[in-house]
Amino acid sequence: ATDAAASDAAGTDAAATAPAAPTAPDLVTDPLVTATNFSSIPITVSIQGSYAQARDFLSKLQGGSRLFLVTTFASTGSSEAGDATGVPDQWTVGGLVYVLQDAAATQADQAAETPAATAEGTDGTSSDTAAGQ
C-alpha cells in the first residue's frame, strides 16, 4: 500500500510540473496596412562560406531592419570539409522582403496614374468633336 501511495504522489507531482502547452501570440493588425501599400518582393541570394557563416548571415538577414522571411535555404556544391579542401561551401537563400510604402507617395502615384480630364471650351462644350473642330 505504501508503494501505491508513493506512485500516486509521484504521478500527481509529474502532472503538476508538466509544462503548459504553447499558445500562439495575439493577432495584431493595423488598418493602415493594406494590400495597396504593403507588398513582398521575392529574392534569391547566393553566398559562399561555411555552414556556420551561412547561418550567421541568415540570422542577420532575418534580424535586420527590413522584414525578411526565409523560404528556402539550400547547399549547392558544398563538401563536408568545406574550406579545408580549398573549395568554399555554396549556399542559396530564397525569401521574401516585405515593403511598406509611404502612404503619401502611394497617393501621389495613384493621382499621377489617373487620366487627365478632357479639355473644355469656355462655353462648357468639349473642344473635341467627331468632325475634328
pLDDT digits (tens, 9 = 90+) for 92-110: 999 999 998 886 776 677 6
In-domain check, residue 15: no
Is residue 49 domain-resident? yes
User: Is 76 a member of any domain?
Assistant: yes
Any domain includes 97: yes
Which residue range forms the structural domain that includes residue 42?
38-111
What is the predicted pLDDT for the residue at 78? 53
Rounded CA separation 128/121 (Å): 9
Q: Could you give the CA distance from residue 102 to residue 39 in angstroms, rounded to a whole number?
A: 12
pLDDT tens figures, 35-50: 889 999 999 999 999 8
Structural domain total, the chain: 1
Kind plus residue range of the DSSP H or E element containing 5? helix 2-17
Examine residue 91 and state whether it is found in any structural domain, yes or no. yes
**Looking at the whole model, is its pTM more than 0.75?**
no
Q: Is 43 among the domain residues?
A: yes
Position 14 pLDDT exceeds 90 = no
Query: What is the model's pLDDT at position 126?
Result: 47
Residue positions counted in the chain: 133
In a domain, 33, yes or no: no
Provide the pLDDT for residue 96.
95
Q: Is 56 among the domain residues?
A: yes
Q: What is the CATH number of the domain that holds 75?
A: 3.30.70
Contacts for 14-23: CB closer than 8 Å, 24+ residues apart: none
**What does the pLDDT read at residue 127?**
46
How far apart CA 102 and CA 49 sit, in angstroms, is 37
Closest CA to 93 of 133, 56, 40, 131: 56
